[in-house]
Structure 1
Amino acid sequence: MVLFAGVTVVQSSLLADCYISRDPERGAAVRNRSYVDAVRLYLGEKSQMLSGFFLGFSLFGNSVVYTLTAAASMRAIERANCYHREGHGAPCCAATAGGSSDAYYMLLFGLGAAKVIENGVIKGGIGGVSLVSPAQKVWRVAQALGDIAFAYPFSLVLLEIEDTLRSPPAESQTMKAAARASIAVTTFFYLGCGCFGYAAFGDDTPGNLLTGFGEPYWLVGLANLCVVLHLLGGYQVYAQPMFALVERRFGAGVVDAEMPLLGRVSVSRLCFRTGNVAAATAVAVWFPYFNQVVGLIGAFTFWPLAIHFPVQMYLAQGKVAPWTGRWLAIQAFSAGCLVACGFASVGSAMGVFGPERS
């Protein structure tokens, strides 16, 4: 977790420096207002298309994860209420999900600490889950790396956020300071929730820690409600860039049509947006394995989007000469992240498509 936080600090710093570039023909300053715009300017059309593919996959994957999370959190609210009414022996439905927001992280942090105090003992151990084979442990470690990679999606929206800043001081300077502060805060909550959760439940720790608590039911319900409310807006944060990416490229030339009760609407927009939401929901139903899906998406997209393209743009912008010490250090950083993400991708794929899921 700390290692990925450090990697994210480095890559966000590299990417922040790519916000302003110089037009090669006129010499004027050019602001790269989105990720794909920056890739096109620094690396060309082919790299833009490749980054667009990974970006689209990541945005769609986030929609799938948010669908899984929202559904599971609503079920968790019902489960907590059922436990309160019928007792913990009742056949209440279990659920797996997750989410990220300050409100429910603080609630989860407190619930985990209270559970450890209630137990009077710290469960679990440094070796992890004890009732699995060595091979299964390796794959679970790989999957955990993918989950952690998914938890640091800075590269998707960093340039868009930087475009809202005003100077002086320089936008990149403000963005770097904000990134360091936000990464420190989120890492603190990630570590606190994860460590307290494992200490509270040990080998029985659920994929979504909130589903492990039954009481106080109102607090568990409030935390899950915070998840759902967060996802209502969070879904749009990832869905709207996906819609814009596709509609800019394929939406031109399609005639609008009159629809009952809706007035004049774009046929392509209506079809694509409806199809995208339906597809995300279908994938969430087919693969309801929250941690494994999160790990696969995080591992598959982290290196290209968060490491490779930002590194290559930084080298192009700074005109770093090949085989210099600086060039070698940056390339070694990229190669190390590639190995880690490759390992995480294999482990997460085993979790989703392996024999345990067949």
Structure 2
Amino acid sequence: MAKEYQKNSMFIEQNPQSAVLENGDFRKNVDEDGRAKRTGTWVTASAHIITAVIGSGVLSLAWANAQLGWAAGPAVLMAFSFITYFTSTLLADCYRAPDPVTGKRNYTYMDAVKAYLGGRKVQLCGLAQYGNLVGITVGYTITASISMVAVKRSNCFHKNGHSAKCSISNYPFMIIFGCIQIVLSQIPNFHDLSWLSILAAVMSFAYSSIGVGLSIAKVIGGTHARTTLTGVTVGVDVTGSEKVWRTFQAIGDIAFAYAFSTVLIEIQDTLRASPPENKSMKKATFTGIATTTTFYVLCGCVGYAAFGNNAPGNFLTGFGFYEPFWLIDFANVCIAIHLIGAYQVFSQPIYGVVERYCSNRLSENKFITSEYAVNIPFHGAYYVSPFKVVWRTAYVILTTVIAMIFPFFNDFLGLLGAASFWPLTVYFPIEMHIAQTKTPKYSFRWTMLKTLSWACLVVSIVAAAGSVQGLATDVKTYKPFKTQ
């Protein structure tokens, strides 16, 4: 039965029109390209975006604001939100080519770049996108383990006092997170992730709200943390060189906090055709970014007001708060659950591209193409592919091992943000928009778009420099067998 299902699937995708004509039952189950009918709406797309955007980055925003101060911190946050929204609307129009409403579908970011730009830019896009996706999944493994450890440390501090050492290794929790991901990675594709994204989005609202609430309570409680217009003070908090490097790193952290362009096309590919996908995606993008920016400003600004220039890199796991310990525990459990879902949002495009490549190149290999039906109670038949089980399990193991080798947090976030922000969030959307609209060279619009692109390139370079310097410092001081 599994083989019969597979042959039908291949037949539909290769020749959708004839399949629809020969078997009228397919008409209601497939879109015009022969793929399974897309049922997503702007609501589910918003959930995917919120799951992707409100991630570990929100936890470092109080620290980032402490480096930039009251003047630059909120301004940089708002600037990144406007830039991300603007370029995301450009990218949403590139889902179809050449026309944004009636053109041929592009299933991945690379497909869109190939349709509009072609050449070596396709390979460069793939390198940037999938390299970044791998990095994000590694980063989420690190962050989830830190949150899991924080639950045990919180209980230890509550029992033994705030001065207790409470040293606990991250490694067992990275392995636990990896085991959970091995199971969830068997979810077939993005289309079946909506429930997980909605759950993760709820969790992100929960822990962000708890962080904001605790910060407000600390401020109201009379704690007067030292804050300044320009952030950490040279000669008091940091040296001159540290101030520069930390400023660059903070910019990278904020850039990472808005990174979701890597999966925008893949999210858009889950939307139903009516209303037009680009229209629904723009609505989802506005909703997602507006929601996350509200939480970011609250977490960054209220967190800075609560902790001042001594804000921890992660204000829920860095123990700026110790009590009520049960609420800290709940917030960190929410973080871990959210990152479980976010990991899948960012890993599904990786699974998809590898599996399509192998299916095309090794279509006669039974290990690659065979599927077996497994009856699951309350679900029905579930088709298991031995290749997918082995490959996806191997990928999760690889990211877990890398996370165990490089368990750094803030600097890793900054480097990911710097690496992905310019090429994927700014450069390719602008270049594809220029190609799509045939914007005249040196016209006012062309000049403004190019200026924005070059300005963001400079931002990415300085952010990357700050993050590399921070990582170098961490590597020098890191002791691999020391517990946290």
Q: Above 0.5 in TM-score? A: yes
Q: Do the aligned partners of 1:351 and 1:357 also contact (CA within 8 Å) in 2? A: no
In our comparison, the structure showing a higher alpha carbon Rg is 2
1:229 to 337, 343, 349: 337
Deviations 1:150-192 (CA, angstroms, capped at 9, x unpaired): 1112312222333333455433233223212321221111121
Q: Do the aligned partners of 2:85 and 2:285 also contact (CA within 8 Å) in 1? A: yes
Cα drift, residue 283 of structure 1: 2.4
User: Which residue does the alignment assign to 1:50?
Assistant: 124
Q: Does 1:288 align with 2:430?
A: no
Q: Does 1:199 align with 2:273?
A: no
Q: Secondary structure in 1 aligned to 2:316?
A: helix
User: Which residue does the alignment assign to 1:11?
Assistant: 87
What's the TM-score once normalised by structure 2's chain length? Answer: 0.67
1:143 to 249, 264, 280: 249
User: Which residue does the alignment assign to 2:226?
Assistant: 123
Which residues of structure 2 form unaligned runs of 5+? 1-76, 171-199, 375-382, 478-484
Q: 1:355 and 1:280, CA in 2 relative to 1: closer, same or farther beyond 3 A?
A: closer
Q: Secondary structure in 2 aligned to 1:210?
A: coil
What's the TM-score once normalised by structure 1's chain length? Answer: 0.89
Equivalent runs, 1:253-272 vs 2, <5 Å: 253=362, 254-256=365-367, 266=386, 269=388, 272=391
Distance across 2 between alignment mates of 1:81 and 1:232: 23
Q: Do the aligned partners of 2:208 and 2:295 also contact (CA within 8 Å) in 1? A: yes
Q: Secondary structure in 2 aligned to 1:88?
A: coil
Q: Do the aligned partners of 1:311 and 1:334 also contact (CA within 8 Å) in 2? A: yes
User: Which residue does the alignment assign to 1:331?
Assistant: 450
Q: Does 1:60 align with 2:179?
A: no
Q: Do the aligned partners of 1:210 and 1:224 also contact (CA within 8 Å) in 2? A: yes
User: Which residue does the alignment assign to 2:437?
Assistant: 318
User: Which residue does the alignment assign to 1:242?
Assistant: 350
Deviations 1:255-310 (CA, angstroms, capped at 9, x unpaired): 4299xxx998545x455434432332232222222010010011011111111111
| Partner amino acid, structure 1, of 2:81 | A
Q: 1:58 and 1:205, CA in 2 relative to 1: closer, same or farther beyond 3 A?
A: same
Q: Secondary structure in 2 aligned to 1:256?
A: helix
Distance across 2 between alignment mates of 1:112 and 1:151: 20
Q: Secondary structure in 2 aligned to 1:56?
A: helix
User: Which residue does the alignment assign to 1:161?
Assistant: 267
User: Which residue does the alignment assign to 2:426?
Assistant: 307
Q: 1:81 and 1:229, CA in 2 relative to 1: closer, same or farther beyond 3 A?
A: same
Cα drift, residue 203 of structure 1: 3.1
% identical equivalent positions? 43
Deviates more, 1:33-42 or 1:59-68: 33-42
User: Which residue does the alignment assign to 1:21?
Assistant: 97
Q: Does 1:170 align with 2:289?
A: no
Q: Do the aligned partners of 1:207 and 1:291 also contact (CA within 8 Å) in 2? A: yes
| Partner amino acid, structure 2, of 1:248 | R
Cα drift, residue 225 of structure 1: 0.4
Q: Do the aligned partners of 2:219 and 2:305 also contact (CA within 8 Å) in 1? A: yes
Cα drift, residue 127 of structure 1: 2.9
| Partner amino acid, structure 2, of 1:165 | L
User: Which residue does the alignment assign to 2:20?
Assistant: none
| Partner amino acid, structure 1, of 2:86 | V
Deviations 1:170-220 (CA, angstroms, capped at 9, x unpaired): 332332232123212211111211222222222332111102211101110
| Partner amino acid, structure 2, of 1:195 | C
User: Which residue does the alignment assign to 1:69?
Assistant: 143
| Partner amino acid, structure 2, of 1:44 | G
Distance across 1 between alignment mates of 2:265 and 2:474: 41
Deviations 1:306-343 (CA, angstroms, capped at 9, x unpaired): 11111111111111121111111111111111111111
| Partner amino acid, structure 1, of 2:411 | Q
User: Which residue does the alignment assign to 1:93?
Assistant: 167
Q: Do the aligned partners of 1:83 and 1:90 also contact (CA within 8 Å) in 2? A: yes
Q: 1:95 and 1:15, CA in 2 relative to 1: closer, same or farther beyond 3 A?
A: farther
Cα drift, residue 56 of structure 1: 1.0
Q: Do the aligned partners of 2:225 and 2:309 also contact (CA within 8 Å) in 1? A: no
Q: Do the aligned partners of 2:227 and 2:305 also contact (CA within 8 Å) in 1? A: yes
User: Which residue does the alignment assign to 2:295?
Assistant: 189
Distance across 2 between alignment mates of 1:111 and 1:354: 31
Q: Do the aligned partners of 1:39 and 1:51 also contact (CA within 8 Å) in 2? A: yes
Distance across 2 between alignment mates of 1:281 and 1:119: 42
Deviates more, 1:234-243 or 1:348-357: 348-357
| Partner amino acid, structure 2, of 1:124 | T
Q: 1:94 and 1:132, CA in 2 relative to 1: closer, same or farther beyond 3 A?
A: farther
RMSD: 2.7
Deviations 1:30-53 (CA, angstroms, capped at 9, x unpaired): 122321111111111522221111
User: Which residue does the alignment assign to 2:154?
Assistant: 80
Distance across 1 between alignment mates of 2:396 and 2:269: 28
Aligned length: 350
Q: Secondary structure in 2 aligned to 1:238?
A: helix
Cα drift, residue 248 of structure 1: 2.1
Cα drift, residue 59 of structure 1: 0.8
Q: Do the aligned partners of 1:145 and 1:295 also contact (CA within 8 Å) in 2? A: yes
Distance across 2 between alignment mates of 1:188 and 1:180: 12
Q: Do the aligned partners of 1:14 and 1:314 also contact (CA within 8 Å) in 2? A: yes
Q: Do the aligned partners of 1:119 and 1:200 also contact (CA within 8 Å) in 2? A: no
Q: Do the aligned partners of 1:66 and 1:235 also contact (CA within 8 Å) in 2? A: yes
